Amino acid sequence: MTDRIVQIKRLRDRNDFATHVQSLGIATSLPIGDRAMLARPIEVHGHSLANRFAVLPMEGWDGTTDGRSTDLVRRRWERFGASGAALIWGGEAVAVRPDGRANPRQLCIGPESLADLTELRAITLDASHGEPPMIGLQLTHSGRWARPTGAFEPRIVFRHPFLDDRVGVTDDSVLTDTELDDLVGDFVRASVVARDAGFDFVDVKHCHGYLLHELLAGFARPGRYGGSLSNRLRFFDEVVAGIRRDAPELHIGMRLSAFDLAPHVAGDDGRGVPIADDYPFAFGGDGSGVGIDLSESHELADHLVAAGVELLCVTAGSPYYCPHAQRPAYFPPSDGYLPPRDPLHEVARLFDVARDLASVHPQLRIVATGASYLQEWLPDISAGLVDGGVAMIGYGRGVLSYPELPRDVVTGVDVARERLCRTFSDCTTAPRNSLVSGCYPLDDFYKQMPERRALTAAKRAAEQARGGRRS
Ligand SMILES: Cc1cc2nc3c(=O)[nH]c(=O)nc-3n(C[C@H](O)[C@H](O)[C@H](O)COP(=O)(O)O)c2cc1C
Ligand code: SF4
């Protein structure tokens, strides 16, 4: 089926691209802008940022088993700094306590990690050369997807008929209100460490199916943390209050899955299909499992403004159950499915949602995501998006293959096409098979790693399971 989707690298010029997006009916969602827009400064919390690029959080499944950094982590952060992006959104997901890790090699934050985190920030700044970027740290609890020692150890907000079996949920997995109260303290203590390590802000992560994102969908959860939107935002409010009390200099951001979809699985032809058409579990969903309704996302944005939060990074869904919505790809990861439709539709939807939120909430600095799929067209379409009121463009997978793209774009250097991320998804397939993440196809460093052989075998096995369809 992917053979019928036009690969981006085959769209040779502006005419080709324009004709293609017109044929898909998404031309107005992906307008071409003037690249000079991306070199315009922007003010965030009183700091002038030199350009409109933000490096998105990208973890590597490559810390130590006690949550500390390694040479691989340090190399990645150095490349984040070398990107020339004016904002480093979060670096990577860092768990606020050991049992909240999504894998045994995820970083974990506590007083003992202060030196590591100080060093990671310094490495990023040193590599940045020109204007120092604003740097945040992403704080998380993996909730349903927690695997602190390898096996699933889910901690959840509510019982979920479509996801519980995937991770071995029992009644004991449901966090009580008192346990959530305690977890607020973990987020606040982690924020104090982030402040002491010199970070400008923390991202209180509300996306991708992890705990705080699931809290937003606790429509039917009883008690103080469920039901009304104000109850579902209680956790965030308490973390904000704690940070204002204990680390008042620290800014706060939120990475939000602004909409969610029903879990998707491979259908008969290998393409993703939703497993339900009546789906009342999606924050920002319309109940159908595939449609969106942003009314609560807008209410949440109002809430952020009232709380003095300026930074909102707009993403969607979860890599575990609807990866196509969040990281559009031509080649799916080994645990994924072929794209349900041309992935440009997913980029268009992510951009439309970012634009919509930006236009209604001009006080927020919105960072859009999902741009790596645009490849050659990333600079021009990102410029169009910024022209439409979105503050910054996030750069995720591409930073693994071609970190300096933002610097090249803002300084007018030709984009190095051979380094563009082609959405092979190896950086997702590797950790799905317990290997460290990285750009194995395009980054020489990973190309030469012995893990590449195991990755190739895993990809072949996934392809066979799909009946010969490529991943
Ligand atoms: C290997 C890999 C690691 C990621 N790690 C994180 C993470 O730590 N935190 C997070 O919020 N998102 C993470 N993401 C999602 C990205 O930040 C981003 O939202 C996604 O890749 C889409 O943006 P892009 O099209 O520029 O890649 C990760 C994605 C990949 C592929
Ligand atoms: S492995 Fe490299 S080319 Fe493939 S999606 Fe990841 S960054 Fe892009």
Q: Residue 348 corresponds to which tokens in the numbers above?
A: 């268009």
The predicted model gives 345-361 an average pLDDT of 98
Residue 1 pLDDT exceeds 70: no
The predicted model gives 230-255 an average pLDDT of 98
Contact at 8 Å (CB) between 173 and 183?
no
Share of the chain above pLDDT 70, in %: 99
- Helix or strand (DSSP H, E) at 368: strand 365-368
Residue 464 pLDDT exceeds 90: no
The predicted model gives 410-425 an average pLDDT of 97
Assigned domain for 210 exists: yes
Residue 457 pLDDT exceeds 60: yes
Is the shortest distance between the CB of 192 and ligand 2 below 6 Å? no
Assign residue 143 a region (left: φ > 0; alpha: ψ between -120 and 50; beta: otherwise): left
Q: pLDDT tier at 81 (50, 70, 90 boundaries)?
A: very high
Assigned domain for 451 exists: no
Q: Residue 152 corresponds to which tokens in the numbers above?
A: 């699933």
Residue 466 pLDDT exceeds 80: no
Ligand lying nearest the CA atom of residue 354: 1
Is the shortest distance between the CB of 401 and ligand 2 below 6 Å? yes
Ligand 2 centroid, distance to 8 Cα (angstroms)? 14
Assigned domain for 3 exists: no
Assigned domain for 461 exists: no
pLDDT at res. 129: 85
Residue 468 pLDDT exceeds 90: no
For residue 112, report the phi and psi dihedrals to the nearest 5 degrees.
-70, -15
| Residue with the two structure tokens 């869904």 | 317
Assigned domain for 261 exists: yes
The predicted model gives 354-372 an average pLDDT of 98
The residues, ordered by sequence, that sit 6+ positions from 454 with a Cβ below 8 Å of its Cβ are 433, 435
Ligand 1 centroid, distance to 315 Cα (angstroms)? 9
Residue 38 pLDDT exceeds 90: yes
pLDDT at res. 463: 81
Gap between the Cα atoms of 137 and 279, Å rounded:
33
Residue 152 pLDDT exceeds 60: yes
Which of these ranges, 42-46, 73-77, 226-230, 459-463, has the smallest mean pLDDT? 459-463
Proportion of the chain in helix, strand, coil states, percent, rounded to 5: 40, 15, 45
428: nearest Cα among 440, 417, 419: 440
Question: CA dihedral in degrees (336, 338, 339, 340; nearest 10)?
Answer: -100
Question: How many whole angstroms from its chain centre is CA 62?
Answer: 18
Gap between the Cα atoms of 327 and 316, Å rounded:
9
Ligand lying nearest the CA atom of residue 330: 2
Q: Quote the mean pLDDT of the chain.
A: 96
Ligand 1, atom nearest to 56 Cα: 17
What's the domain count of the chain? 1
374: nearest Cα among 79, 9, 3: 9
The predicted model gives 185-206 an average pLDDT of 98
pLDDT at res. 130: 83
Ligand 1 centroid, distance to 224 Cα (angstroms)? 31
Ligand 1 centroid, distance to 222 Cα (angstroms)? 32
Q: pLDDT tier at 471 (50, 70, 90 boundaries)?
A: very low
pLDDT at res. 470: 57
Q: Residue 111 corresponds to which tokens in the numbers above?
A: 């007083």
Question: How many whole angstroms from its chain centre is CA 49?
Answer: 21
Residue 372 pLDDT exceeds 60: yes
Within 6 Å (CB) of ligand 1, which residues are found?
56-59, 92-93, 138, 207-208, 255, 315, 326-327, 369-373, 394-398, 427-428, 437
The predicted model gives 117-132 an average pLDDT of 95
Count of other CB atoms within 10 angstroms of residue 360: 14
What SS3 state is found at 256?
strand
- Helix or strand (DSSP H, E) at 295: helix 295-306
Question: How many whole angstroms from its chain centre is CA 370?
Answer: 9
pLDDT at res. 462: 85
Share of the chain above pLDDT 90, in %: 95
Assigned domain for 16 exists: no
Question: How many whole angstroms from its chain centre is CA 471?
Answer: 21
Ligand lying nearest the CA atom of residue 327: 1
Assigned domain for 95 exists: yes
Residue 404's domain comprises 28-421
Task: Tell me the CATH number at 282.
Answer: 3.20.20.70
For 182-206, b/e burial (b = at least 16 CB within 10 A) is ebbebbbbbbbbbbebebbbbbbbb
Is the shortest distance between the CB of 435 and ligand 2 below 6 Å? no
Assigned domain for 6 exists: no
The predicted model gives 190-199 an average pLDDT of 98
pLDDT at res. 469: 60
Gap between the Cα atoms of 17 and 452, Å rounded:
34
The stretches of 105-172 forming alpha helices (DSSP H) are 114-127, 164-167
The predicted model gives 23-47 an average pLDDT of 97
Is the shortest distance between the CB of 439 and ligand 2 below 6 Å? yes
The predicted model gives 265-271 an average pLDDT of 94
Is the shortest distance between the CB of 441 and ligand 2 below 6 Å? yes
